[in-house]
Amino acid sequence: MDKLLIIDDEADIQRSFRRLFASPDVDVLTASSGEEALEMIPRVRPDLVLMDVRMGGMSGLETLRRLRESDARLPVIMMTAYGTTQTAIEAMKLGAFDYLLKPFDVPKLKELVAGALRAARQMKAVVTVHPMVESDDYELGIVGKSSAMQTVFKLIGQLASSDATALITGESGTGKELVARAIYSHSGRARQPFVAINCAAIPEGLLESELFGHEKGAFTGAAQQRIGKFEQCNRGTIFLDEIGDMPLSTQTKILRVLQNGTFERVGGNETVKVDVRVIAATNKPLEQAVAARAFREDLFYRLNVVRVPLPPLRERREDIPLLVEYFLRRFGREAGRPPKALVPDVLRSLEAHHWPGNVRELENAIRRASVVATGDTILTRDLPPEIACPTPVDLGVSALGSGGGSGVGGGQPSGGMVGGALAAGLVPGGDPSKLGRDRERAGLGVEPDVASLAQMLFRWARTQSEVRLLPAVERELVIEALKETHGNQVQAARLLGITRATLRKRIDKFGIRRELSVT
């Protein structure tokens, strides 16, 4: 439950907030003065403070200064009826999360409070690296036992012990923000603010103002001075996500901050000095952007002090069972029940999927399965269709199932030769009894190494000049799938990773009905 502390010397304001935020998820506490608040905060440990600027006794600014000294991560939203005065601006300079004007715009107030509570949770949640899944004493973790992730863990540890700028690279969904928060959580700045900015989500015209603030009259709508995220985050850590989408004009100011820690607000001449650690992330190849003059070369080198490359999930499939168990435990804990189990076929489907959305896609798939599963066990039918029915890419035979036969040559090649080659271990003159040994030597195991399989097929095809390899293999796979499923076209299509309509076209194209009884 989130704890919201209201500091205001007006009883009507306190009652209004109690009514507004009355909820099983929010505990609304009140204090009538700064002195009372400072006495109760160590005891009640609120997640967010809403405080009036002008109060009897200790002023709001002095109370804010004391709060920042005791816990810089505690978000404080200032409330004032004098929004255009220097007092509100000074509050932002002291590190207030934001400020509100009286009378309140209720939707904006709720949105601001929700964002502040979310930021508070992010700053307080320590991100563990390589957590033990059998333990429930962590909230967030970067899970993995693969060699690629072990390298990431080492880099996080090295970065956490320094103030070096870091550049985290990787595809969308690989966990770049989680790594940034892990670096922050274990660094010497862990008691200071952490602010995350998605450079791609903020319109180009507003990004510079969001980062560096603006002066009154700097542009249309700038009715008063605004303090930016860098200034708010002084002595803390700022995470610039998707920095590859940052406009060149803003890149210049980022470079200056990295070089000497100074900048000017938009429309201003005053030089502001800050001490902020910068961690950046991108899913774009910045080297190519530099070559295309879409990204400053000098900024790239300033950011690329220590690079943390995150591998896509498909390149660390051995981590999938660990991740699945982690998500099942986490979702079970969130729902207040034991984690759900899953049947072996589900894990096999998960390990076979290509995961274009990486860990984020896996997390969403497990969450969905946990929700739709009718019992305590997740079945294959509970998975998203694209995972329960693998695509041709997942099966490693992307040339198959392309639809309508457009990618396959005409004719009806004999499947006998290909079938014999498959059964004989895919080598000329092979012996069917050697199939298991050949698969073992090729590293196929239970789940075939498709690259090795393709290499052996090509070696065999070179001795059979009359065979058109792709149509022949495709026809043989359709026949074998129908045999495996006893002619059930729905199951055969699922086995091949194609639709039933595509399977029917293949059956007709290759004249399979004449050789195999299918229904």
Whether the Cβ atoms of residue 393 and residue 381 lie closer than 8 Å to each other = no
Q: Has residue 469 got a pLDDT over 90? A: no
Phi-psi region of 411 (alpha: psi -120 to 50; beta: other; left: phi over 0): left
**Cβ contacts of 439 within 8 Å, gap of 6 or more:** 425, 445, 448
Whether the Cβ atoms of residue 127 and residue 141 lie closer than 8 Å to each other = yes
The pLDDT, as a whole number, for residue 373 is 86
* Same fold across 2-123 and 127-311: yes
Mean per-residue pLDDT of the chain:
80
The pLDDT, as a whole number, for residue 289 is 93
Residue 7 has φ and ψ, to the nearest 5°, of -115, 105
Q: Please tell me the least confidently modeled range out of 63-72, 80-89, 347-356.
A: 80-89
Classify residue 443 by its DSSP letter.
Answer: T
Q: How many whole angstroms separate alpha carbon 77 and alpha carbon 18?
A: 16
Peptide bond into 103 cis (omega under 30): yes
The whole-model pTM stands at 0.62
Whether the Cβ atoms of residue 83 and residue 223 lie closer than 8 Å to each other = no
- The CATH number of the structural domain formed by 127-311 is 3.40.50.300
Q: How many whole angstroms separate alpha carbon 78 and alpha carbon 354?
A: 48
Tokens found for residue 283: 């899913």
Interhelix angle 344-352/320-335, nearest 10 degrees: 120
- 2-123 homologous superfamily: Response regulator (3.40.50.2300)
CA dihedral in degrees (285, 291, 295, 300; nearest 10)? 70
The pLDDT, as a whole number, for residue 91 is 80
| DSSP letters spanning 344-358 | HHHHHHHHHS--TTH
Distance (Å) of CA 250 to CA 116, 160, 464: 25, 27, 62
The pLDDT, as a whole number, for residue 465 is 61
Radius of gyration of the chain (CA): 30
Whether the Cβ atoms of residue 148 and residue 311 lie closer than 8 Å to each other = yes
Q: Where are the domains of the chain?
A: 2-123, 127-311, 314-388, 396-514
The architecture in CATH of the region 314-388 reads Orthogonal Bundle (1.10)
Of the candidates 511, 489, 486, the one whose C-alpha atom is nearest the C-alpha of residue 500 is 489
Mean pLDDT of 220-247: 89
Q: Has residue 31 got a pLDDT over 80? A: yes
CA dihedral in degrees (420, 425, 427, 428; nearest 10)? -40
How would residue 168 be classed by pLDDT, with cut points 50, 70 and 90?
A: very high
Q: Has residue 366 got a pLDDT over 60? A: yes
Classify residue 74 by its DSSP letter.
Answer: S
The architecture in CATH of the region 396-514 reads Orthogonal Bundle (1.10)
